[in-house]
Structure 1
Amino acid sequence: MSGPIVIWGAGAIGGTLGAAFIRAGHEVIFVDNAANHVAAINANGLRIDGPIFQDTVKAKAFLPQELEGTFERVFLCVKAHHTEAASRELVKHLAPNGYVVSAQNGLNERVIASIAGESRVIGCFVNFGADYLEPGVVHYSGHGAVVVGELDGRRTDRINDIFALLHAFEPKAVLTDNIWGYLWGKLIYGALLFGTALTNDSIADVLANPGYRPVLAKLAREVGKVASARKVVPQPFDGFDPTAFAPTASAADAVRSFDEMVAHNRKSTKSHSGIWRDLAIRKRKTEVDAQILPVVEIGGSVGVPTPLTAKVVSMIHEIEDGKRPLSLANLDELARIAA
């Protein structure tokens, strides 16, 4: 593949990846909906702060309506609930032999494929720590899993090229023939993150609290049961083992997994999830409807009830609407439902 790499969504994930690609010698074009972020990048470059590396990289940035031309490589890095709108915009700029890499949370490959065509979508899973701080500034806080794979598991020239690109960014990157397993593994972990985001406590503190582990384990098992019903084998990453929340897993398996997740999160300078930042700092809608609501919908279609997942979705909506505070009391309420 040739030509510039388009990063559609220059926030936490897109900004970090784009900056790394530029540092590796690739031409990158940023596309973002935030006019002040685009203006800051064009005026001063994109600054990356954090313990991994600090740098300011230069690149052209555009609002979606300003972009012209067609491109072979597009990394879609927008919030999950913006996937459909972004896909309809970017497909206008996708070359006939081009493809979209979905570096997002959730099962967004399904949405992109419905617009661009399944053959033009590459599955991607990322779990590194990053946050958008202000226009022109992104914080890259910690290494994490980076996995890429064709949706049908094939090994192709393009997937080898994309893997090489991502491996230069993250030396522990993985090329997989089971990308859906990683995406569902992240959904199980994502449900836990949404649970921690119901509070003001850090990810590690919530997961370490023995009083809340039972309800969080039940929440994770709901997602695991839906994955199992879909005959998906979730894959482990970054100290998280989704098999610990499989239908046949024991309580001891869950304890072990919680301990490993706590250890991993204690090492990161990113103490809270992006979900919590959306609720507490940025005061905006989260990815809940695009990330874990599909678990409820898919569960319904395969006969797997998901009452705790549905309640978390409802609670997140209430927090977004200012009708519920961030508090450990929310997990107490969830535990009563689980009981």
Structure 2
Amino acid sequence: MEILILGSGAIGGSVAADFLMAGIPISIADPWPQLISKVQKEGFHIRLPDSEFHTPTNQALHLSDFATLNPKYDVVFLAVKAQDARWMTEFIKPYLKDHGVIVPLMNGMMNPTIASIIGKERLIGSVIELSAESFEPGIIKRKTPPSKTWIAIGEFDGKITDRLKMVQKLLSHTATVDFSDQIENAKWTKLVTNAMILAPFAMIKATSYDALADSNMRQLVLRIGEEAISVGRAMGYEIEKIFGLNAQDMQGQPAEISHKLVETLVGHIGKKSQNATTQDVLKGRITETKFINGLIVEQGQTLNIPVLANQAICQIMAQIEAKRIAANEANIALACKLAEIT
């Protein structure tokens, strides 16, 4: 079986390292040339909370190598930012075998975009909870070891297929892997959580989730979740059990569910953590906010559902990305003002 991990930063690199340490032959590829060159020579260096290790070297490809080598893959794990989903899918499409599948390991509701390029029948949905960061090529600080990492995978018709079992077996080296018969519901539930913790903490450049102790920040975060749940329900997405929570945990009003989701996620990854969007802010990169909070705003406005809190986050993050304002704690008061939270 030919396996490719396309996108080998903090998340893709963590998965690649687990596969390599399990003796699973894989190739990796990434748009960052320095990362590929480093991994070709030295492998990955993974730092866990209580240990660290180096992986063996493996086939690591620059994107320019594909035209020469013309490789073909049975499974591609697509571990890129939401804004890169379309062009990376178009890029890898010619290198999928006829029966090949893509398993996106990313935030956002990007499955329809990917399916429009390769066909829904060549796509397996997933939700991943893995906290890691990487500021140097090939060096990853992983906050959640495999024992605390969770993934759900699912076919879009809800069936348990042989290929789904194959993907579960592979990813079991990285996480506890559950099957979901409602994978898009699970994706939206994760998006609710991402909307609450990614951009809101990135806008203050948080190195931990201690800011939840601030009453204004907590109100803002919970309001974001309430709006996201309300919009999702209007779109037909029900809240799905994720992160090991059960169906009873997911019952109640949007504010109660939002609270449970945030507390559970922070409990898993720990309060001392820089999330992916904060890392992008620190690196001066475009963030995924448009595809998370921005999607909630877009759909909420279409459905005439108030989304002031998510809109406030989008406005502030756009200013930060344009370098018109700084990411700091003053943005909590600004967001609350824009969201009309008193």
Structure 1 length-normalised TM:
0.90
Counterpart of 2:12 (choices 11, 14, 37) is: 14
Aligned partner of 1:293 in structure 2 is: 294
C-alpha separation between the residues in 1 aligned to 2:61 and 2:301?
41
Counterpart of 2:205 (choices 196, 200, 205) is: 200
C-alpha separation between the residues in 2 aligned to 1:225 and 1:219?
10
Partner letter of residue 301 of structure 1?
A: T
1:8 Cα shift? 0.5
Aligned partner of 1:220 in structure 2 is: 225
Counterpart of 2:101 (choices 99, 102, 118) is: 99
1:317 has 2:298 as partner: no
Change in 2 beyond 3 A, CA 1:257/1:189: closer
Aligned partner of 1:61 in structure 2 is: 60
Counterpart of 2:153 (choices 131, 148, 156) is: 148
Gaps of 5+ in 2: none
Is this contact kept in 2: 1:128–1:144, CA < 8 A? yes
Change in 2 beyond 3 A, CA 1:251/1:100: closer
Change in 2 beyond 3 A, CA 1:254/1:16: closer
Is this contact kept in 2: 1:103–1:126, CA < 8 A? yes
C-alpha separation between the residues in 1 aligned to 2:311 and 2:250?
18
Aligned partner of 2:179 in structure 1 is: 175
Instruction: Name the Cα RMSD after superposition.
Output: 2.4
1:55 Cα shift? 2.4
Is this contact kept in 2: 1:218–1:338, CA < 8 A? no
* Identity percentage of aligned residues: 25
C-alpha separation between the residues in 2 aligned to 1:168 and 1:225?
36
1:129 has 2:140 as partner: no
In the TM superposition, what whole-angstrom CA distance separates every residue of 1:61-103 from its partner, at most 9, and x where no partner exists? 1122312221110000011111111011000101110010010
Change in 2 beyond 3 A, CA 1:254/1:28: closer
Q: Give the secondary-structure state (helix, strand or coil) at the position aligned to 1:338.
A: coil
C-alpha separation between the residues in 2 aligned to 1:160 and 1:5?
15
1:220 Cα shift? 0.9
Q: Give the secondary-structure state (helix, strand or coil) at the position aligned to 1:98.
A: strand
Q: Which moved more, 1:37-46 or 1:86-95?
A: 37-46
1:82 has 2:84 as partner: yes
Aligned residues: 332
**Moved runs in structure 1, 4+ residues, more than 6 A?**
239-246
Change in 2 beyond 3 A, CA 1:215/1:111: same
C-alpha separation between the residues in 2 aligned to 1:76 and 1:263?
27
Q: Which moved more, 1:229-238 or 1:326-335?
A: 229-238
Change in 2 beyond 3 A, CA 1:184/1:257: closer
Change in 2 beyond 3 A, CA 1:184/1:203: farther
C-alpha separation between the residues in 2 aligned to 1:245 and 1:217?
15
The correspondence of residues 185-334 of structure 1 with structure 2, limited to 5 A, is 185-193=189-197, 194-238=199-243, 249=253, 258-266=262-270, 271-280=273-282, 282-334=283-335
Structure 2 length-normalised TM:
0.89
Q: Give the secondary-structure state (helix, strand or coil) at the position aligned to 1:61.
A: strand
1:288 Cα shift? 1.3
Change in 2 beyond 3 A, CA 1:89/1:195: same
Q: Give the secondary-structure state (helix, strand or coil) at the position aligned to 1:64.
A: coil
Change in 2 beyond 3 A, CA 1:251/1:71: closer
Aligned partner of 1:24 in structure 2 is: 22
C-alpha separation between the residues in 2 aligned to 1:239 and 1:200?
28
1:139 has 2:141 as partner: yes
Is this contact kept in 2: 1:189–1:240, CA < 8 A? no
1:294 Cα shift? 1.9
Partner letter of residue 305 of structure 2?
A: V
Change in 2 beyond 3 A, CA 1:276/1:307: same
Gaps of 5+ in 1: none
